[in-house]
Every structure is written in C-alpha cells, then in structure tokens.
Amino acid sequence: MTTRKYFCIGLWMLLPLLGWAQPDFEDLQQQWLDILNKGEDVSEFYWTNEYQVFAELKVGEAQRIMDVVNSNENKLPGSYQQTDIFRHDEDRYVTVGDLYNEEDEILLVTGWRNTENGWKKEVDMYFSPEEETGNSFEMVKAKLDERRQEWIKLANAHNPQKHVDELYTQETVYLANGSKSEGRQEVADRYYFMKNPNYEIGISKTKLWNIAEGHVLETGRYYVGGDYDADGGVYVVLWELTGAGKWQVKLDFNF
C-alpha cells in the first residue's frame, strides 16, 4: 500500500512537467519555410481563419514578402534562426527569429497557439531590422520609457478613446485573439473594457529592436490589476516616430 501511494504521488508530480514541455518552434518554423519554398500549401501551419499577417518592411522587401505570403509564387529567404522566445502561458508563445539568405535579413515575430490540432501560427509579423547606432538609440530608449509610462497612465484613466488618440497612429493595427482592428476608432472600441472604473494595468518592457525607417519593435509583459509580481502576459508593440515628432503605436498585438 505504501509503495503504491508513493508511485501515484511521483506520477502526479511528473505530469505537469510532461504537459508543459516547451515545443520546438524553431523546427516548426523551418518546416513551414521549407514547404513554403516548394510552393506547396502551408495552411496546416495556420490557426484556421484567425491567422493574421503584418509587415513593416523596406519598400522592395515588403512587396516581395507579401507576394509570397499571399500567393506562394516566390520564395522567402531559405533559412531561419530563432533568437528569442517569450512564454505567455503553456498554450501561447511568441517567438522572434531571423529569416535570411545572402541578400536579405528579415525579422520574423510569430504568435503561436496550442489548438486541438496542435501548435498553429496565430500571427506572423515581418520587419526590416536596422543596426542600432550608439547614443542615438539610447536617446530613443529613454523617450520610449517616457511614452510607456504615459501609456500606463492613460490606460488607467478609463477613457480608451483618449488613450488611443494620444498614443496610437491614425492607421494603427490591433491584433488579438484572431481578430484584426484598424484605425483609432476600431482600436478604441476593442479597448472598451478600460472604461471599467476597477480596471488597472501595468506593462514592462522586455526587449527592443531598431527597425528601419523610424520604427522600434518592443516586446514586454502586461499585468492586469497592476500586480508586477504576477506572471502577466506577452505583448508586442511597434512604435513609429510620426511627423509630429511623437512616438506612437503602429501595431499592438497581445494574447
């Protein structure tokens, strides 16, 4: 009886570890890329009709990438190397990696969701990375620290329209739960829950990437209730330096 008891306890302790094993997303990305470059159907990798694509690329790259995504008539760079992984929970992750060959280097950010049919891409976001240039990027980081604090303050002011008008670009895009919203009004409508007087949120930056033509990509964690000791959730934001000299959100993705 004693032996059986300890065996059951030991198995119970192992089950969470077995269930929470981190998937090999780098291998999944390479499988997707290989099939895509053969011109074959890659829909099995996508979260059905909820799959979304966003691209902020240099002009030449943008047209080529979107042609590939939409028609499979051309080829993406031939290899993928994962550089970062961010866990939202056991069923949702964000990965960051490089697609490249001799001519191109494209940053690919993917939101993954564990479905009844296995791990699927919820969103792919393509960016043209640009080398960070010393002190100038440090100044950008400091300015974004200020804007991040403004984001928190306005998000907790229970006025989503004012929040979005101040901090988001006119053509902003919001991606979440397989749904896409475009423009300030649509995004403000999606943020209706901020009107709740009990609503509170905090965010903290995890990493920044310098992106071509006045953009900065940011990943971080959000904390509903403002409890920074909690696990929180993953967000991805693309900041854009507007003609008015303000950093505003062009892309907002979260689970």
User: Could you read off the pLDDT tens digit of each residue along the chain, which spans 255 residues?
Assistant: 444 444 444 444 454 444 557 899 999 999 999 998 888 889 999 998 889 999 998 755 555 666 666 654 556 667 899 999 999 999 999 999 998 866 678 999 999 999 999 999 999 999 999 988 777 899 999 999 999 999 999 999 999 999 999 999 999 999 999 999 999 999 999 999 999 999 999 999 999 999 988 999 999 999 999 888 888 999 999 999 998 899 999 999 999
Q: Are 190 and 222 within 8 A, CB to CB? A: no
> Tell me, what amino acid is at 156?
N
Radius of gyration of the chain (CA): 20
d(CA 126, CA 54): 6
d(CA 237, CA 253): 6
Partners of 112 in the β-ladder = 93, 121
Give the pLDDT score at 3: 45
Q: Measured between alpha carbons, how far is residue 87 from residues 19, 39, 80, 237, 254 in Å?
A: 15, 31, 20, 16, 12
Give the pLDDT score at 77: 64
Give the pLDDT score at 50: 86
Q: Are 71 and 40 within 8 A, CB to CB? A: no
d(CA 151, CA 166): 9
Give the pLDDT score at 79: 86
How would you classify residue 109: left for phi > 0, otherwise alpha for psi between -120 and 50, otherwise beta?
beta
Q: Are 248 and 242 within 8 A, CB to CB? A: yes
Residue 54 CB partners (closer than 8 Å, separation 6+): 123, 124, 125, 126, 173, 175, 251, 253
From the list 104, 110, 123, 62, the residue with the least C-alpha distance to 83 is 110
d(CA 49, CA 177): 11
From the list 58, 92, 109, 119, the residue with the least C-alpha distance to 219 is 109
d(CA 168, CA 252): 9
Partners of 211 in the β-ladder = 129, 215
